[in-house]
Amino acid sequence: MGKFELSNRRYLGSKTKLISFIHEVVEKNCKNINTVLDLFGGTGVVGYSFNGNCSVIVNDILKTNIVAYDTFFSNDPIDQNKIKDMLTQYNTVEKAKENYYSKNFADTYLSKYNMKKVGYIRDDIDKQYKNKKINKREKSILICSLIYAIDKIANTVGHYDAYRKNGNLDQKLIMLMPNIKDNNNKNNQIYCENSNQLVKKISADLVYIDPPYNSRQYCDAYHFLENVALNKKPEVFGTARKMDRSNLKSKYCTAKAATEFADLIENIKAKYILVSYNNTGEKGNARSNAKISDSQILEILGKKGEVKVFEQDYSLFNTGKTKLEDHKERLFLCIVGQNKNEYVANNISELVKSPLNYTGGKYKLLTQLMDKFPKDIDTFFDIFSGGGNVGINIDAKKVICVDKNDKLISLFKYLQGEEYYHLVNHLDSLIDNYSLSNTYKNGYEFYGCNSGNGVGQYNKDKFLKLRSEYNNSNKKRDDLFLLLIIYSFNNQIRFNNKGEFNLPVGKRDFNGSLRKKLQLFMDKLHSKEISFENKDFRNLDIDKICKNNSFFYLDPPYYLGDASYNENGGWTGKDEEDLLNFLKLCDEKQIRFALSNVIEHKGKIHDKLLKWCLSNGFNINYINNSYKNSNYHIKDKSLITREVLITNY
C-alpha cells in the first residue's frame, strides 16, 4: 500500500520550503535545545523536523491538524496491519448510500460519488471507535488518511473558500497509509488550545511561532476538512457550504493581532522564541496584508530579550493578481532575557508623560502638585487638561478631563478607544503613505542625516502636505491630527485664529522614545475610569457636582504668560476675571480646588491674582518650576517666574 508523509498537504503558509532556513538559524544561534514548542502548528512540519532530536510539543486550534499530529507525533500503540486492512476495505467501497456529505457537498469539492464514499468511511470510523474496535490514535490515523486523500483530489486551488466550477471531479478517492516513525515520538505532547492560553501553562527551550499573517481565517480556508474531522454534521450555508466557525476565529487575523501577539510573548516561558512573519505590509491584496508590522514585532520581542532578524526570499499566497516584488520571509529570533529592554508596558503604577508636548504641561511638577493635593479624592476634575499629564496620573476613583479644545478632546477619546499596537500599525501605514521618515525602523542614515540634525529637512515637504490635507478637510481626522503632532516642532499643538494647525515640521519622528511614551500613556488611559469633556470652565454646572470628595484642579493659560496657547487673544483679562469669580463660587459651594498660576513673570506682578488670594484667605504654595522648552526664545534667563499653586483648603 502506498504511503503519505505529514508534508503531503496543500496548506496556506506551509513552511515546508523554509525548514532548512529555520534549522540553520537555530543551529547557529541557539544552544541546548531539548524541547521545541510548535505553537501554531498548522501542518506540523516545523515541529516534525525537530522530532527525534528533541521532544516536540505541537499545538493547533483546528481538529483537522490535530488528527495529523496524533498520527505522526503520538507514541500510543497501534495495530498497523489492522489499519492497512481497514484502508484497503475503504478503498474498495463502490456503492455507498446517500448521506450528509453527498446531500450537502455533491459536485463541489468532490463528486457526488466520492462524497457518498467520504460519508460512509467517516461514519464507519466513528462506529468502529464506538464499538472499541480501534483506539483513539487508530481513529485519528484513519481520519487523517481520509483528509489527505480528499485534499489530494479536491476541486480547489488549495483551500476551501471556494471550488472550481469547471474542475475535474472524476479522480478516485484513494486512502494511503501514513509513514509513521514511532521511535521518535517518546516524549511528545499534543494540544488543541488557544495559543495565548496554552503558553501560560507550559514551557519549552525553543518556541516557534507562525501565527496567521493576514485577514484570511484558517477555519474559513479549511472548513470542509474540519467538518470531516469532527463529523458532527452541522448545518451548512452559502456557495462554499460552510458551517458555523465563530468559535474558531483567530484574533491574529484582525486589527487586534498586535495586541494579541504582545500578550502571547509576555507569557511565554522559553530560552528562545523564533517567529516567522512576512514583510507584505500593505503591498498586495488587502486580505493578504500582514496584520503586524516588523517594527511592532521588534518592539514586542525587544521587551523579552535580544532580537536578531534573518530573512530569505519567498513566494507567498496572494488572493489578488498583484505581483509582489522583493517579498521576504522573516525570522525574528529572541534570545530571552539577554540585553532585555527593562521597560514594562503594563507597569501602570508609575507616573507617565503625555505623548502630547503641551506647552506648560505639568509632568515635571507632578510630584510637587500631587503632594499638595488632598488624599481623599473620589472625582478629580482636570480643568484645562491640555496634554493630560495631571489627569492621567492622579489617584482618584474617577477622573474627568475638561478642555475647550474640541480637537484635543476628540483625540483623547480616539486614543481611549484604540488598542496600542493596532494604532501603531495604522500610524506606520500613514507614515508610509505620506513617505515620512521612520527612524525607529530604518535609522537616521537611511534618510541621509543623523540624530543631531534630525529628519526635519527630509520630512518638510511631506509634513506640509499632511498639514494642508488636515487643515483643508471638512472632518478633522484624529489619526492625522496625532500624526501632525508626532512630526511637528517639539510634538506641540498650535492653531491660528482660523483654526488651522500651524506649527512647522520638527526634527524628530515616531521614534522609540515617543512610541514608549504613547504606549505607557494608553496603558494608563485604559486602566482607570477617566472621561473627557469638551467644555469651557464657565459651562460646568457646579450645582450638580457632588461636594463630598470632589476636587477641581485648574491649569489655565497664564495671564502673564506668552505661551503658544495664549496667542491670538487666547486668554484675556475678562477670562482671568471670570475664572477667579468661578473659583470664588466653587469655594462658596464648598468644592475644593487647586489653581496653578504665576504670581510674577518677567518682572511683572499679577496684582489682581495676589489681591484675590489675600482677600479670600486662599493659600499660596510656591512651586519650584522649570519650563526650558517654552523659554528657548528668552534672552535674559535671569528674569524670574514664580509659579504657585493656590488652594482653598
When pLDDT is averaged across residues 149-168 and rounded to a whole number, the result is 87
Instruction: Tell me the CA distances in angstroms from 286 to 38, 253, 318, one per residue in order.
Output: 28, 12, 9
The grid coordinates listed for 643 are: 509659579
CA 379 and chain centroid, separation = 31
220/159 Cα distance (integer angstroms): 9
Q: Enter the C-alpha cell of residue 388.
A: 493630560
SS3 per residue for 11-61: CCCCCHHHHHHHHHHHHHHCCCCCEEEECCCCCCHHHHHCECCEEEEEECC
Q: How much is the pTM?
A: 0.62
Which of 205, 198, 208, 204 is closest to 333 using CA atoms?
A: 208
> H or E element: which one contains 351?
none
Q: Indicate the class that CATH gives domain 407-527.
A: mainly alpha
pLDDT band for position 214 (cuts 50, 70, 90): low
User: How far is residue 436 from each of residues 429, 433, 486, 565, measured CA to CA in Å?
Assistant: 10, 8, 11, 27
345-404+535-649 CATH: 3.40.50.150
Q: What is the pLDDT of residue 23?
A: 96
Measure the CA–CA gap between 109 and 214, rounded to whole angstroms: 25
pLDDT at 339 (0 to 100): 63
User: What is the structure's pLDDT at 491?
Assistant: 92
Residue type, 330: R
Alpha helices in 73-135 (DSSP H): 80-91, 100-105, 112-130
> Which tops the pLDDT comparison, 74 or 350?
74
Which whole-number Å values give the CA distances from 311 to 278, 331, 441, in the listed order? 9, 6, 16
CATH code for the domain defined by 3-336: 3.40.50.150
Burial 181-206 (b: 16+ CB within 10 A, else e): eeebbeebbbbbeebbebbeebebbb
Tens-place pLDDT, residues 448-465: 999 889 999 999 999 999
Lowest mean pLDDT among 179-188, 280-289, 605-614: 280-289
Considering only residues 26 and 291, tell me which one the structure prediction assigns the higher pLDDT: 26
Q: Quick one: pLDDT at residue 625?
A: 67
Three-state secondary structure call for residue 259 = helix
> Cβ atoms within 10 A of the Cβ of 414, count?
15
State whether residue 135 is helix, strand or coil. coil
> Please, are residues 66 and 84 in contact by the beta-carbon 8 Å criterion?
no
Q: What is the mean pLDDT of residues 593-622?
A: 92
Contact residues for 574 (Cβ-Cβ < 8 A; gap 6+): none
Q: For the chain, give every residue range classified as CATH 3.40.50.150.
A: 3-336, 345-404+535-649
Q: Give me the sign of the Cα torsion angle 141, 146, 152, 157.
A: negative
How far the first Cα of the chain sits from its last, in Å, is 91
Neighbour tally for 9: CB within 10 Å = 24
**pLDDT, tens digit (0-9, with 9 covering 90-100), for 561-603:** 654 444 445 789 999 999 999 999 999 999 999 999 998 887 7
Q: Which amino acid is at 274?
A: L
Cα of 99 vs its chain's centroid, Å: 44
Bigger pLDDT: 455 or 360? 455
| Cβ-contact 126, 203 below 8 angstroms | no
Answer whether 96's CB lies under 8 Å from 75's CB.
Answer: no
Task: Dump pLDDT digits (tens) for 77-108.
Answer: 999 999 999 999 999 998 899 999 999 999 99
C-alpha cell at 262: 504582545
pLDDT over 80 at 628, yes or no: no
pLDDT beyond 50 at 324: no
Residue 641 pLDDT grade (very low, low, confident, very high; cuts 50, 70, 90): confident
> How many Cβ atoms from other residues are within 10 Å of residue 310's Cβ?
17
**Span 615-633, average pLDDT:** 71
CA–CA distance, 459 with 618 (Å, rounded to integer) = 49
Rounded Cα–Cα distance for residues 69 and 210 (Å): 17
3-state secondary structure of 556: coil
As a whole number of angstroms, the distance between CA 207 and CA 209 comes to 6
Q: What is the pLDDT of residue 46?
A: 97
Across the range 241-258, mean pLDDT stands at 85
Q: Is 173 helix (H, G, I), strand (E, B) or coil?
A: coil
What cell numbers appear for 489 in the block?
516642532
Q: Start-end ranges of CATH 1.10.1020.10 in the chain?
A: 407-527
pLDDT at 330: 81
Other beta carbons within 10 angstroms of residue 217's beta carbon come to 18
